[in-house]
């Protein structure tokens, strides 16, 4: 089945859950498999990704919410309200060069492979936006710790540090295990002629640059939090050592006092 897309239509990618259970969807009803596209009539479709992103092609916001609440809900693991989202306008112009201009992408045709490539890049961009928001929250918590370390001061509690380290590690795990945002889509193995389009989209959405910046932030957050935690543990160990020394001194004083009393 081929979609009869209009000359100009909107595409919206939304992070709707931490995971979409794609294996439970009937494959025979899909327009395409990698990524999975499901038609919503002759002029619209929705693309689903296992890492929780749904991309709606030529579907109104009201219909999008209806699909999320009614159709997709049983397949969503850890649903997300108000997740990251991106919108783009697409124009089909056979006589024009494929390009990106602001919030509009011009394609020479509305074929399924081109659509698959576009929705996958948008899904990756939304996922990166979620990672960026999560690690930025940790970055905001770590910045005061870095300032204290520069002034030879350390944190007084380890709970916040452990939470910060955990967030950084969880985000890094998600980036590696759930979606390789900088790897070429599997689609290009069968449609190598679309590699130029992919490179253009990847450059416009800055996938590689954002991924590199994100990895640097994760490393910085982890190093700062771990250094602060080590400093905190070192201070606690030093405090325990002082307690032991004090106890030894008290024991010696008590022994001397006892000897002194007995002699007199």
Domains and CATH numbers, the chain: 8-121 (no CATH), 123-239 (1.20.58)
Question: Which range, of 89-98, 154-163, 205-214, 251-260, averages the lowest pLDDT?
Answer: 154-163
What is the pLDDT confidence band of residue 3, given thresholds at 50, 70 and 90? confident
What's the pLDDT score for residue 255? 66
What's the pLDDT score for residue 202? 94
Q: What is the pLDDT of residues 111-155, one digit of tens each?
A: 999 999 999 999 999 999 998 888 777 666 665 655 554 454 444
Q: Does residue 263 carry a pLDDT above 80?
A: no
What's the pLDDT score for residue 76? 95
Contacts of residue 131, Cβ cutoff 8 Å, sequence gap at least 6 = 171, 174, 175, 214
By residue count, the chain amounts to 264
Beta carbons of 6 and 58 less than 8 angstroms apart: yes
What's the pLDDT score for residue 93? 93
The mean pLDDT value for 20-35 works out to 87
Question: Which range, of 156-160, 161-165, 249-253, averages the lowest pLDDT?
Answer: 156-160
Q: What is the pLDDT of residues 209-230, one digit of tens each?
A: 998 888 887 777 767 666 666 6
Sign of CA dihedral 13, 19, 20, 22: positive
Q: Does residue 171 carry a pLDDT above 70?
A: no
Kindly report the number of other CB atoms within 10 A of residue 75's CB atom.
Answer: 16
Q: Which residue has the higher pLDDT, 77 or 230?
A: 77
3-state secondary structure at position 157: coil
Round to the nearest angstrom and report the end-to-end CA distance of the chain. 108
Q: Does residue 87 carry a pLDDT above 80?
A: yes
What's the pLDDT score for residue 150? 46
How many angstroms separate the CA atoms of 184 and 140, rounded? Answer: 32
Q: What is the pLDDT of residues 99-110, one digit of tens each?
A: 998 889 999 999
What's the pLDDT score for residue 34? 85
In eight-state DSSP terms, residue 28 is G
What's the pLDDT score for residue 156? 46
């Amino acid at each position: 089945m081929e979609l009869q897309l209009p000359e100009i239509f909107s595409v919206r990618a939304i992070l709707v859950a931490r995971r979409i259970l794609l294996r439970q969807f009937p494959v025979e009803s899909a327009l395409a498999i990698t990524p999975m596209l499901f038609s919503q009539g002759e002029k619209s479709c929705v693309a689903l990704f296992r890492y929780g992103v749904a991309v709606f092609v030529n579907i109104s916001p009201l219909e999008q919410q209806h699909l999320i609440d009614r159709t997709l809900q049983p397949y969503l693991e850890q649903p997300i309200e108000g997740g990251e989202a991106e919108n783009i306008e697409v124009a089909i112009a056979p006589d024009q060069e494929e390009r990106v201009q602001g919030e509009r992408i011009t394609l020479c045709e509305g074929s399924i492979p081109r659509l698959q490539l576009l929705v996958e890049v948008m899904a990756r961009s939304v996922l990166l936006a979620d990672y960026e928001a999560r690690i930025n929250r940790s970055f905001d918590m770590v910045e005061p710790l870095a300032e204290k370390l520069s002034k030879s001061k350390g944190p007084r509690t380890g709970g916040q540090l452990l939470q910060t380290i955990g967030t950084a590690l969880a985000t890094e795990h998600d980036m590696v295990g759930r979606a390789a945002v900088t790897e070429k889509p599997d689609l290009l193995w069968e449609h190598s002629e679309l590699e130029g389009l992919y490179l253009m989209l990847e450059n416009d959405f800055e996938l590689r640059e954002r991924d590199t910046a994100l990895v640097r932030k994760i490393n910085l957050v982890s190093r700062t939090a771990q250094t602060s935690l080590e400093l905190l543990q070192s201070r606690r160990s030093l405090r325990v050592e002082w307690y032991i020394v004090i106890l030894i001194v008290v024991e010696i004083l008590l022994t001397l006092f006892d000897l002194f009393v007995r002699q007199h």
